[in-house]
Amino acid sequence: QEVPLKYGAQYTGKRTDEAMNKWRGNRFGQFIHWGLYAIPGGVWNGKTYNYAAEFLKSSAKIPTSTWDSLMYQFNPVKFNARQWAKMAKQMGARYMTITTKHHEGFCLWPSQYTDFNIGNTPYKKDILKELVEAYNAEGIDVNFYYSVLDWHHPDWRYDIKSPEDSVAFRRFLQFASGQLRELATNYPTVKAFWFDGTWDNSIKKNGWWTLEVEQMLKKIRPGAVVNSRLRADDFGKRHIDSNGKLMGDYESGYERRLPNPVKDVQVTRWDWEACMTVPENQWGYHKDWSVSHVKSPLELLEMLVHTTSMGGNFLLNFGPAGDGSIRAEEQHIARTIGAWMQQNGQVIYDCDYAGWEKQDWGYFTKPRTGNIVNMVVFNIPVNGLLKVKVPAGTKISKATLAGKNVKVEEIAKDQFFIHLPQQAYKMPPVIVLEAVGGAKTNAQYQ
Ligand SMILES: C[C@@H]1N[C@@H](c2cn(-c3ccccc3)nn2)[C@H](O)[C@@H]1O
């Protein structure tokens, strides 16, 4: 029995319009966290704080006035938007999501709604405009991350506990709406909005505003894509409304974690995106990455393939330094993943969940059209035989690795061994199967 909702999901199922098909087909994005937090980089008064560098203000208990004066030091002399965009292009990113404003409240664009913005820094110029133009020139779509939570704004409230809170927070919501309106209006090529900082009771109690924002953005920018994290319904339910329906255009709950390819196949029924840090938990620039595990290019590449294999987008984070430089580890990641994407991007872009049973050697992806199923092999079996279980009645007519045929051996009903050429593999090999007939998917894997 459905409950009537005014601010719940606006539609069900995947959007199939051109703008959403492009968003979905992009598959691989570059997240960029850049703000005042990049200046101290996790170190304050000579002390290193291991928690996420973009949280240094709270970790080091820095007064707002002290933190906000970092604005007068923001002068990224090594910043070169075209260089960043070229690196992202080489990595194989099809979209980029930039923190227009993070929880600190500092705006990378000259907002008319607050002085706490790039225009009042020594750098002065509109960084957001430079990035949008440079990335678009490389053919990369640009999306805007926007934190509703704002540590700088006096009218922000974590909860609404008094009439004064209500009055103040209503002013705050008008401020945020104004900022979002100027972002959608002044940067007309923006393709999507990535909302964050919406978990507090103050937002849960104002679900109406979250729908109003989604509708406003789509009115100004038809086709715009909005994440589920923005949305709260009439009862404060977030992401999924009180009738179990996904709000927004895609599910954005996977932060620094991925759905399990066996237990979580339900995610293949809707659009979703996972965002990922290179260290264990650093989004903004941190001076000392030795304090936690730093993921290798191969670990991150496997996450990209894992995500594509389950019909999701993968947003890999970069945290540029306060001077605008990109650290060596991130440049190495971009080059290494980019080299593989150069050869194998066709198993990621416009690919989706194959509906085949997950096997131990790696992941299946399926292009939107044709009878192709791709195998991306991360775990080379000792016997060199890759087991493939196919939907009932499916026949594999051909298998190739780098364009050369490899042997297909039927070993049981709907089961095959694909013979992997024995060699030292430094990067994951890709085998392309031509599969004909049979059911569309293993029914139990929907
Ligand atoms: C996308 C990521 N979301 C921001 C975040 C994460 N968190 C958080 C806070 C407490 C527990 C778990 C997550 N708060 N803000 C991070 O700073 C980054 O922007």
Which ranges in the chain are annotated with CATH 2.60.40.1180? 354-445
pLDDT of residue 443: 55
Closest CA to 359 of 282, 281, 270, 433: 433
Q: What CATH number does the domain located at 354-445 have?
A: 2.60.40.1180
pLDDT of residue 439: 73
Alpha helices, DSSP H, located in 13-149: 18-26, 56-59, 64-68, 81-91, 127-137
Closest CA to 352 of 339, 363, 338, 337: 363
Residue in this structure with the two tokens 């409240």, named with its chain if needed: 105
- Quick check: CB of 274 below 6 Å from ligand 1? no
Q: Any idea which fold 18-351 has?
A: TIM Barrel (3.20.20)
pLDDT of residue 438: 77
Q: Where are the beta strands (DSSP E) in 351-406?
A: 351-352, 362-367, 372-377, 385-389, 395-401, 404-405
Which ranges in the chain are annotated with CATH 3.20.20.80? 18-351
Q: What is the ipTM of this complex?
A: 0.99
Mutation choice for ligand 1 from 104, 227, 283, CB with most ligand atoms inside 8 A: 283
> Please, is 65 exposed, middle or buried when counting C-beta atoms within 10 Å of its C-beta (0-12, 13-18, 19+)?
exposed
In angstroms, what CA-CA distances link 280 with 35, 84, 258? 20, 23, 14
Mean pLDDT per 10-residue segment, the chain (446 residues): 97 97 98 99 98 98 98 98 98 99 98 98 98 99 99 98 98 99 99 98 98 98 98 98 98 98 97 98 98 97 99 99 98 98 98 97 96 98 96 96 97 97 96 88 58
Residue 307 and residue 274: Cα distance in Å, rounded?
8
Atom of ligand 1 nearest to the CA of 31: 1
Atom of ligand 1 nearest to the CA of 196: 3
- Quick check: CB of 146 below 6 Å from ligand 1? no
Residue 354 and residue 337: Cα distance in Å, rounded?
23
Ligand 1, atom 18, lies closest to the CA of 283
Residue 225 and residue 214: Cα distance in Å, rounded?
9
C-alpha 313 – ligand 1 centre gap (Å): 19
